[in-house]
Structure 1
């Protein structure tokens, strides 16, 4: 199959996406005529950005009724996505060709070879478009602007190219499907090596060689994909967790349960919220969902976690305690218990921490901002770049990722309906102020003064949070001379009412001070950038390898620790075809880095710089401060990673996109 090659005929155009003015104003500062113009613009925008709570896959969640044209992806984004996608498709086709050669798949080799030729044609056509649009990379983190251009192109030509790229994206998605590959692995003994072999042309993740180590299992609690769940135990273990003092002492040398409790050195994961999942099926295969409890400790004089015990369910009468053991008759039972935790963690991560608490929360702010803040409002100018791509990518998730027959339905433990409702419940229960980073760390008892000294997510996130907060404070203070300016801002008041009402953001209310407004802006910007980066990008490095973290168990959890072997453990893991689907989806989601934090650009070709107010952009302005501060944060995290047992790169500003665009 051939693909059209676009002509290289540059032209010029003017961006159509709204841009902030050189002098943003508050509504109370405007003349009656200017206020009327604001109102007219908002009325027009409200006709485009509308609410619905009737998206079938996420019922009850306030979302946009449609994706406005200004929220569609840029050519630069498509070029990155297609490049990543082609690498994944070529890998999957290599695996499928291997399955044909082994007699596991009935499809003819010629079909897969033709698909590889399609990939070459798509790549060539996309490269032509990229060249015409001057897509490039290079420079430091603030000069490296993916999608920067040398020449503008006509709007009609841009639309034609977007249509081509959209078609390529859809074809790549079709080529990623695994429906015809269910025989993969049927003639190959189940092994970790066989799962590694699914990375036929892609680099094999390092986690595949480390995930069985107990130290790695503990490390994932503080720098893995879902490292926002670990919490201090408090004064006593939960009543439904059946660990004895003797069991604890046998695991943590030179320590006692009483001393660990008194010192605040015990930390816990409790997956009880996953009880809302109804176990699903895939074809004739049953899937298993669990709600384990896992205990970790910081040993006396230590700084990092060690695993202590796992209970594979909530009722100790049904689920005995498993503890680390090198004994041959207990070893594989312990590995199976760790797998139970990792399945629960995969569900908690994807449905709660990722989808509900970043994607869906930020969509509410995006729609509310467009509907209630005029395009001359300074807070509109501050926040809108942090919403780029979010409505589009959320629409994609709602219609394919978390839909019946989609990857969540295939890979994860619950029926698709129960998985959808779990995400809905988590989004509607999200408390805005309680989830601000400092408050969340304090509530979980894992702040910088806790016994948990080694917590890379916390330490790096606080660096980024504090930097964003100072940027927000300086910016807010430019436009609001006093708290009275905040309370007198009628658009801001309607924005807050919308967020508390139509948008269903729990805990939101009236905004009464500059300090509060800066904190709100910090939370929105942090969630859309750093928090999403922390939950999204580990998907490639850690979750793409199914034995490390996956969405479902495929055999029942053990009822006791003794008497299990390696085949019992391997039998809990997903079929090879679903492991390949997991690889495809999470490799894609974890590989697209578009526009780093601190790089503010319009999303309209030719992507001019966003802020126009010289008070913001000047050498002594807050934007220059923010960009310089992010460079300092980058250097500090790089230095920290050089000293860590395992690096934690996900909160380096150069690797944090400005918005949720994947």
Structure 2
């Protein structure tokens, strides 16, 4: 297919003057084109590069390569906006109901007036959104308008929805700010935190979070299943004794467990970059604890063995599980210290740095180096839908000064930003490939660690994506020589490594390597992000279970503490509501599942156009069938598991990092 024909197809789908692209109908490699076509490809890439430019000067994430702005092609669809606004309105309805509870009866008249006015504005916005939703529903069901008129109307609707979203966020900010100012009136208790859910369902973890087995299970099926590592010797600075181990594990011995490979560690030493912050005159705390786990002989699930609240054993002694009245609450405090550390590691290292920011670098490099008739352009671009937009929004409203991370996380905002920057710039592309990562962390063997739902389900999805990438790439690359002859591919790989600052990314010299690279890119943007994003709603909205800061210093002994002291570790109620609202939104928007490839503009036409890919028995159909098989297998697994793990069911995995 010629460049002119490709251009005519692209030009037929426009919105407010900008191209709305689809995958090429006849993709080609540059070495197979005529000199004239190669020149046209280069001209198109150069033109696109004016829209997609790099910067490392974003104040919130200094040094991280990001897009300078969000081009029109990367703006979300109207369908996405409706999903976001639906969740946002539900959150504000919950906030409204919470404000009717007695805990907020102490608000003065001025505060009540501000909140009443804000909620009235939210009600008006809800009515306008419902009107737009009905308009769009009718447009989809009725006879089509002329394409250009339809798209122009939709473009105006998107801008209106965008303004409503901004207004709703401002309204929530106003309400939370009022509640922060009145914080002294709000007493903390576990029941009060549960009462923050009025019209939203209370997550199950709100009733089970003190259970030691659940605490252990979160390392393999929680928001951060990426830190646990097998060890064969105890760290010198974490001197768990044989007697302490036996007090938890009974007849098992520490020496035997280490020799068998049944001992596992979560070490939060990388949080050293965080500098403890202050909120409204109250000190916040975040530590670098160490937590030890083991699988009993013949067992399947982890058990928590010991916790040390810091890296220095002379300051923070080893603590072990205990129900004794004198030791119980010290143990609960130690678990809370770990949960705070895990929340910081999850959000800054695993979630933001390891998915959002990695995908953005590859997205920008793809747009700048691959022609839109290149087969990899068609394969990868759908997996970047919405990423530049949502990352830009996070930079402006989430990890900024005065944003939620600044408020309810333990570090100063500058140190939290630095943690994300360092994690992103240290991300090693090949070492983070899912099978490689499991092997490196010594958690790959199901005979040693049988109960690891994230590992087992992730490998199913990884293999399905790998099969898809293999079938797709082998169609367009006849052999390894075709890979090394691809000049655009070479520039793309070089750009990812140099301009994108992705550690370990290197020249691609074979089809097998290219298949692995594409699998990693697709998995990171879809499944990996789903695994670390969607637990935010079910496991992280309830602050006593997981939160970003402690509000008193870590205990230096296990004895002599009570329940009241434990509750004082938890955040102020207004920040508990802010955490709930923020993470409810981030963990509730499911937009376009993996394998559903369509454009991001109404009427959402199929993305792939090459008949070789879209044939009834072609690679796309096989990929979709493979995902259905994975779904069925995970559902069957969950029927056997004591606790279902749903985050990697393909129907629950969005195609891209778009929230």
TM-score, length-normalised on structure 2?
0.95
Does residue 489 (structure 1) correspond to residue 486 (structure 2)? The answer is yes
| Residue from 126, 131, 142 that aligns with 2:129 | 126
Distance, in Å, in 2 between the alignment partners of 1:419 and 1:646 is 33
| Residue from 48, 53, 56 that aligns with 1:50 | 53
Spell out, residue by residue over 1:603-622, the C-alpha distance to the aligned partner (whole angstroms, 9 max, x if none).
12221110000000001110
Distance, in Å, in 2 between the alignment partners of 1:33 and 1:296 is 63
Distance, in Å, in 1 between the alignment partners of 2:137 and 2:189 is 46
Residue 63 of structure 1 is matched in structure 2 by: 66
Distance, in Å, in 2 between the alignment partners of 1:303 and 1:619 is 42
Alignment map for 1:587-602 (pairs within 5 Å): 587-602=584-599
Alignment map for 1:181-192 (pairs within 5 Å): 181-182=179-180, 186-187=184-185, 189-192=187-190
Q: How far does residue 644 in structure 1 lie from its aligned partner after superposition?
A: 1.1
Alignment map for 1:187-586 (pairs within 5 Å): 187=185, 189-234=187-232, 236-586=233-583
Residue 8 of structure 2 is matched in structure 1 by: none
Q: Secondary structure at the match of 2:137?
A: coil
Distance, in Å, in 2 between the alignment partners of 1:224 and 1:101 is 32
Residue 39 of structure 1 is matched in structure 2 by: 42
Cα 1:403–1:601 shift into 2, 3 Å: same
Q: Secondary structure at the match of 1:381?
A: helix
Distance, in Å, in 2 between the alignment partners of 1:32 and 1:286 is 65
Spell out, residue by residue over 1:253-301, the C-alpha distance to the aligned partner (whole angstroms, 9 max, x if none).
1111111111111011000000110000101000001000000010111
CA contact (8 A) 1:264 1:450 kept: no
Residue 603 of structure 1 is matched in structure 2 by: 600
Distance, in Å, in 2 between the alignment partners of 1:46 and 1:559 is 56
Q: How far does residue 242 in structure 1 lie from its aligned partner after superposition?
A: 1.7
Q: Secondary structure at the match of 1:310?
A: strand
Q: Secondary structure at the match of 1:309?
A: strand
| Residue from 151, 161, 164 that aligns with 1:155 | 151
Residue 5 of structure 1 is matched in structure 2 by: none
Q: Secondary structure at the match of 1:296?
A: strand
Residue 86 of structure 1 is matched in structure 2 by: 89
Q: How far does residue 510 in structure 1 lie from its aligned partner after superposition?
A: 0.5
Spell out, residue by residue over 1:385-418, the C-alpha distance to the aligned partner (whole angstroms, 9 max, x if none).
0000000000011111000000000011110001
Q: How far does residue 188 in structure 1 lie from its aligned partner after superposition?
A: 5.1
CA contact (8 A) 2:119 2:171 kept: no
Q: How far does residue 95 in structure 1 lie from its aligned partner after superposition?
A: 1.8
Structure 2 stretches of 5 or more lacking a match?
1-11
Q: How far does residue 118 in structure 1 lie from its aligned partner after superposition?
A: 3.1
Q: How far does residue 155 in structure 1 lie from its aligned partner after superposition?
A: 3.2
Distance, in Å, in 1 between the alignment partners of 2:328 and 2:192 is 22
Residue 171 of structure 1 is matched in structure 2 by: 167
Q: How far does residue 97 in structure 1 lie from its aligned partner after superposition?
A: 3.6
Distance, in Å, in 2 between the alignment partners of 1:449 and 1:76 is 41
Cα 1:388–1:13 shift into 2, 3 Å: closer
CA contact (8 A) 1:540 1:586 kept: yes
Superposition RMSD in Å: 1.7
CA contact (8 A) 1:58 1:420 kept: yes
Distance, in Å, in 2 between the alignment partners of 1:184 and 1:17 is 49
Q: Secondary structure at the match of 1:40?
A: helix
CA contact (8 A) 2:13 2:21 kept: no
Q: How far does residue 442 in structure 1 lie from its aligned partner after superposition?
A: 0.1
CA contact (8 A) 1:188 1:194 kept: no
Q: How far does residue 191 in structure 1 lie from its aligned partner after superposition?
A: 1.3
Spell out, residue by residue over 1:319-368, the C-alpha distance to the aligned partner (whole angstroms, 9 max, x if none).
10110011000000000000000000000000000000000000000000
Spell out, residue by residue over 1:440-484, the C-alpha distance to the aligned partner (whole angstroms, 9 max, x if none).
000000013451100000000000000000000000001000000
Q: How far does residue 384 in structure 1 lie from its aligned partner after superposition?
A: 0.1
Cα 1:150–1:95 shift into 2, 3 Å: farther
Does residue 625 (structure 1) correspond to residue 628 (structure 2)? The answer is no
Q: How far does residue 511 in structure 1 lie from its aligned partner after superposition?
A: 0.3
| Residue from 2, 9, 30 that aligns with 2:33 | 30
Distance, in Å, in 2 between the alignment partners of 1:354 and 1:158 is 32
Distance, in Å, in 2 between the alignment partners of 1:567 and 1:507 is 49
Q: Secondary structure at the match of 2:571?
A: coil
| Residue from 653, 656, 660 that aligns with 2:657 | 660
Q: Secondary structure at the match of 1:48?
A: coil
CA contact (8 A) 1:220 1:227 kept: yes
CA contact (8 A) 2:188 2:572 kept: no
Q: How far does residue 135 in structure 1 lie from its aligned partner after superposition?
A: 8.8
Alignment: residue pair count? 640
Distance, in Å, in 2 between the alignment partners of 1:196 and 1:219 is 22
Distance, in Å, in 2 between the alignment partners of 1:424 and 1:82 is 30
Structure 1 stretches of 5 or more lacking a match?
1-11, 137-146
Distance, in Å, in 1 between the alignment partners of 2:195 and 2:182 is 12
Spell out, residue by residue over 1:586-606, the C-alpha distance to the aligned partner (whole angstroms, 9 max, x if none).
000000000000000111222
TM-score, length-normalised on structure 1?
0.94
